[in-house]
Amino acid sequence: MPGSTRLKTFLLAIGTGAYANDTTPPAPATAAVLCRNVKLTPIDAKMVSRDIDTGAMGHLEDILVGATMAVEGEVEFAGSGTAGSVPAWGTLLRTCHMAQVVTAGADVTYNPISDDFEWANGYYYYAGKLHKLLGCRGTWSLDMNAEALPVIKYKLMGLYGGVTDAPQPAGASLNPWKKPLAVNAANTPIGRLFGQDFGFAEFSADMAVNSYHKNVPGEEEIRITDRAPVGSITIPDPDLATKNFFESLRTTEVGDLVLTHGRTAGARVGVSSDHVQVTKVDYVEREKEVWLKLDLKFTHSAAGNDDLLLKSF
């Protein structure tokens, strides 16, 4: 029956072989994504007008020159349950130009890369239909705010793989997705910024990956061309003797950032960078207390690809 269901299932799996091939569908038992606030763009069509002269007013039909599909949403930022095991959100980060490094029994770290990008196929089941996003790539951001749940936000674009009638997939498992911990004093240790220990009320990071649909004779691909990672953090307004962030901005000082969430092995996640620059300093008030909001730019070392790291441990 048309419009009979609003049930949703999103499957995402890293691809192998020729780019965007659809020979091995994502397996429901291992590829299900526990997401919220999902927005699907079932077809993003690029059209061109013929713009020809005729003896009458009005339109002539446009011509389709390309089509993509997109999906965006949020997943909970939580540990894998076992130190050194891959977290459920790892596939999303690998799809968004992050490399996965597993240290058995210890941690799994994700760092940005500048070439050899992986891709994924996405199967989105909704409204009694299967929507295929092939060769997906995209970007991610992170929110960690006090008295809230930490979330990774993602935006993926894929080649248009078609829409077909299909029931919800059988056997979809969300067991790898662990229950998140609220960001608060009990669950979140004090953070470090520019060598000083600080609490924080809000933190955000945006990898800001630039991607586009390349569609030229001989090649159709979702291409990644750059990144421009930025963020912000709101901390208690420190005494200038403790840390003068106004001078940090004036002198273009580069420092470190380390935030850990969770206190037991397997439940911990973290974000870090050794190359943070403050680009704006402002006062904000929370509950009639003065806090300092710092806009951040995540730079990298001479070796590169260490702008901003995520970790499950």
Average pLDDT estimate for 58-84: 97
Average pLDDT estimate for 15-34: 97
Alpha-carbon distance 74 to 36, whole Å? Answer: 5
Is residue 29 within 8 A of residue 172, CB to CB? The reply is: yes
Average pLDDT estimate for 74-81: 98
Position 308 pLDDT exceeds 90: yes
Alpha-carbon distance 278 to 184, whole Å? Answer: 25
- Structural domain contains residue 188: yes
- Structural domain contains residue 59: no
* Per-residue confidence (pLDDT) for residue 6, from 0 to 100: 78
What mean pLDDT value characterizes the chain? 97
- Structural domain contains residue 3: no
Nearest to 199 by CA among 209, 187, 185, 210: 185
Domain that holds residue 184: 8-47+65-312
What confidence category does residue 67 fall into, taking pLDDT thresholds of 50, 70 and 90? very high
Indicate the DSSP class of residue 178: P
**Which alpha helices (H) appear in the chain, and where do they start and end?**
28-31, 90-95, 245-250
* Per-residue confidence (pLDDT) for residue 5, from 0 to 100: 66
Position 23 pLDDT exceeds 90: yes
Q: What percent of the chain has pLDDT over 90?
A: 96
User: In three state form, how does the secondary structure of 194-251 look?
Assistant: CCEEECCCEEEEECCEEEEEEEECCEEEEEEEEECCEEEEEEECCCCCCCCHHHHHHC
pTM for the structure as a whole: 0.96
Name 147's Cβ contacts closer than 8 Å, sequence gap at least 6. 182, 183, 184
Is residue 120 within 8 A of residue 136, CB to CB? The reply is: yes
* Per-residue confidence (pLDDT) for residue 2, from 0 to 100: 55
* Per-residue confidence (pLDDT) for residue 128, from 0 to 100: 97
- Structural domain contains residue 277: yes
- Structural domain contains residue 60: no
Q: Give residue-wise pLDDT tens across range 220-250.
A: 999 999 999 999 999 999 999 999 999 999 9
Q: How many domains does the chain have?
A: 1
Q: Give residue-wise pLDDT tens across range 104-156.
A: 999 999 999 999 999 999 999 999 999 999 999 999 999 999 999 999 999 99
- Structural domain contains residue 52: no
- Structural domain contains residue 262: yes
- Structural domain contains residue 58: no
Q: Give residue-wise pLDDT tens across range 211-225.
A: 999 999 999 999 999
